[in-house]
Amino acid sequence: MKWSPEQISGWLKHEFPGKPDMQISHETIYRSLFIQARGVLKKELVAHLRSRRMMRRSKLSTTKGQPRGQIIDAVSIRERPAEVADRAVPGHWEGDLLTGSHNSHIATLVERHSRFTILVQVGGKDTNSVITALTREVNKIPASLKKTLTWDRGSEMAQHKSFTVATDVQVYFCDPRSPWQRGSNENTNRLLRQYFPKGTDLKEFNQEYLDQVALQLNERPRKTLGFDTPAARLSAYVASTG
């Protein structure tokens, strides 16, 4: 299931508190992979580890010439309700496009409270394709979980008003060149590179496959959730609200 050693260790502590014989440290798991495992077994196991290299934008990079910041009637993230920032209330989402080769894309949505992820097949980066696909998937979400969406200033969200009318989800836009304002989404996109490495043609993957990948992410224990899973965290909220 592509869980990291830290997730495995944390989940065991979460599921078997007070039972040391049912727990193991992530350091021990790594040692068994890199020292004890041999031959084909080692290759098979190590292949499931995620890259731990952090991806950072070069200080010399620029967005000059890109069609950014020209969204008509864009509402700034600075006007977003205060409840979004503390993550206490579910239903607030962050979104972006994951880019592949041959001008291919996948839309990614992450719920801030639970880190629950939705992957959306899009036909292109044009605003009509993206808004149509987002509307289709977001309208499958329970109404109690449809509150806000935070996006960057890419032209794919030019028709954000149509999206809001169709879904009743208000869109807020990040400041230019401020990806950290969508931190959960940025982190999730890094995790997704395990499934969709750079240079992959994302047009090869249909919605059914994207749903399967999202399911794996949503059933992984997360350190930031006390090694609960996004799926369990969101399900508990939905159950509590009837």
User: What are the E-state strand segments in 154-219?
Assistant: 170-173
Q: Of 9-18, 27-36, 44-53, 226-235, where does mean pLDDT reach its minimum?
A: 44-53
The pTM of the full predicted model, rounded to 2 decimals, is: 0.74
How does residue 242 score in pLDDT terms, banded at 50, 70 and 90?
Answer: low
Residue 210, pLDDT score: 98
Residue 179, pLDDT score: 82
Percent of the chain with pLDDT over 70: 86
Long-range Cβ contacts of 127-130 (<8 Å, 24+ apart): 127/155, 127/156, 127/157, 127/158, 127/159, 128/159, 130/97, 130/105, 130/156, 130/157
Domain range annotation of the chain: 5-46, 77-240
Residue 17: is its pLDDT beyond 60?
yes
How does residue 5 score in pLDDT terms, banded at 50, 70 and 90?
Answer: confident
CATH 3.90.230.10 fits 77-240, yes or no: no
Percent of the chain with pLDDT over 90: 65
Q: Tell which residue, 10, 240, 12, 229, has the closest CA to residue 114.
A: 229
Angle at 235 between CA 229 and CA 240, to 5 degrees: 130
* Cα–Cα distance for residue pair 237/193, rounded to 1 Å: 29
How does residue 31 score in pLDDT terms, banded at 50, 70 and 90?
Answer: confident
Residue 135, pLDDT score: 97
* Cα–Cα distance for residue pair 231/2, rounded to 1 Å: 16
Q: Is the distance from CB of 192 to CB of 97 less than 8 angstroms?
A: no
* Cα–Cα distance for residue pair 76/62, rounded to 1 Å: 21
Residue 86: is its pLDDT beyond 90?
no
Query: At 186, is the secondary structure helix, strand, or coil?
Result: helix
Residue 207: is its pLDDT beyond 50?
yes
Other Cβ atoms less than 10 A from the Cβ of 208: the count is 8
Q: Which DSSP category does 228 fall into?
A: B
The residue-averaged pLDDT of 78-99 equals 92
User: Could you read off the pLDDT of 33-59 as tens digits, one per residue?
Assistant: 766 555 556 667 767 776 533 222 333
Q: Is the distance from CB of 188 to CB of 196 less than 8 angstroms?
A: no
Contacts of 35 (CB under 8 A, 6+ apart): none
